[in-house]
């Protein structure tokens, strides 16, 4: 295997992967938008944004296997990914490991998941060897959704098999380093599927502060988020995170984390205990 490229190296997943690759003594190139924020690691750093096809092609030149971390939510995210996939193909990248989303499909409930489905189609059409990591919702983020002692959303009694970002990073490293994962699509989940009421109970147990789950209607969810001033497409994504849970699209639990890393996936209780 040749040089590994890591996009999004200043972010939560890319940065974790880059640090793990450094610890393993693997040669890598970090692709970032802001070089001042690049991790302080012994790696080649190149600057490129997903919308700049020429800068991306230069950044990917000489890369053998590329971790393509999905762009931040954007109204034109599929176009940004199209530029990145095209640049990877033009630069001669052989294999791409892409961070998708659990249950990604053209008609999935989670509107941002549709972007991931479109990107998976772009990768298939590019003829690049591909490993797709369909990550569940990030476990680490759930406690951050608590406001005024409540976790609010129209998730009903649905369950989510949320996964820790450290586990996602470990799976990504395994996928980058082992050719046997080429051509595979993996659901990357935590060890259990929890209702948001159960999530609230775990947070209460860990912090000693009462947290409850307030089940909103879809209309209430839109109204409660209206004050953010976010555009409609973004609020659609926020709300459909919960309705996807309600519809059972994020409840499946996989064995991918233990199978690819050799250790159990991190539970919410374990994650909260580390904080």
DSSP letters spanning 71-135 = PPS-TTHHHHHHHHHHHHHHHT--EEEEEEETT--TT-SSHHHHHHHHHHHHHHHHT-EEEEEEE
pLDDT band at 275; cut points 50, 70, 90: confident
Share of the chain above pLDDT 70, in %: 100
Vertex 108, ends 105 and 109: CA angle to 5°? 160
pLDDT band at 14; cut points 50, 70, 90: very high
pLDDT of residue 94: 98
Residue 1 has pLDDT above 90, yes or no: no
| pLDDT 10s digits, 99-135 | 999 999 999 999 999 999 999 999 999 989 999 999 9
**Which residue in the block uniquely carries the two structure tokens 């406690």?**
143
Q: Encoding tokens for residue 222?
A: 């839109």
Q: Rounded to an integer, what distance in angstroms lies between the CA atom of residue 241 and that of residue 104? A: 12
Average pLDDT over the chain, rounded to an integer:
96
98: closest CA among 219, 203, 185? 185
pTM above 0.75, yes or no: yes
């Amino acid at each position: 295997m040749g040089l590994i490229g890591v996009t999004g190296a200043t972010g939560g997943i890319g940065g974790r992967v880059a640090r793990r690759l450094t610890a393993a003594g693997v040669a890598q190139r970090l692709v970032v938008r802001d070089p001042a924020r690049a991790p302080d690691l012994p790696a080649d750093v190149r600057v490129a944004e997903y919308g700049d096809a020429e800068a991306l092609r230069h950044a990917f030149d000489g890369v053998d296997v590329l971790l393509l971390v999905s762009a931040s939510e954007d109204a034109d995210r599929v176009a940004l990914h199209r530029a990145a996939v095209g640049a990877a193909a033009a630069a001669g990248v052989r294999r791409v490991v892409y961070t998708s989303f659990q249950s990604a499909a053209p008609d999935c409930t989670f509107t941002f998941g549709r972007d991931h489905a479109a990107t998976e189609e772009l990768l298939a059409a590019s003829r690049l060897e591909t490993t797709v990591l369909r990550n569940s919702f990030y476990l680490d983020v759930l406690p951050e959704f608590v406001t005024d002692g409540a976790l609010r959303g129209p998730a009903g009694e649905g369950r989510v098999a949320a996964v820790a970002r450290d586990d996602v990073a470990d799976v990504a490293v395994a996928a980058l380093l082992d050719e046997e994962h080429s051509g595979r699509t993996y659901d990357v989940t935590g060890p259990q599927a929890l209702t948001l009421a159960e999530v609230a109970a775990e947070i209460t147990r860990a912090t000693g502060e009462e947290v409850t789950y307030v089940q909103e209607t879809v209309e209430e969810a839109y109204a409660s988020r209206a004050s953010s001033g976010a555009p409609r497409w973004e609020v659609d994504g926020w709300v459909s995170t919960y309705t996807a849970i309600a519809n059972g699209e994020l409840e499946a639990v996989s064995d991918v984390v233990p199978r690819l890393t050799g250790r159990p996936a991190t539970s919410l209780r374990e994650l909260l205990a580390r904080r």
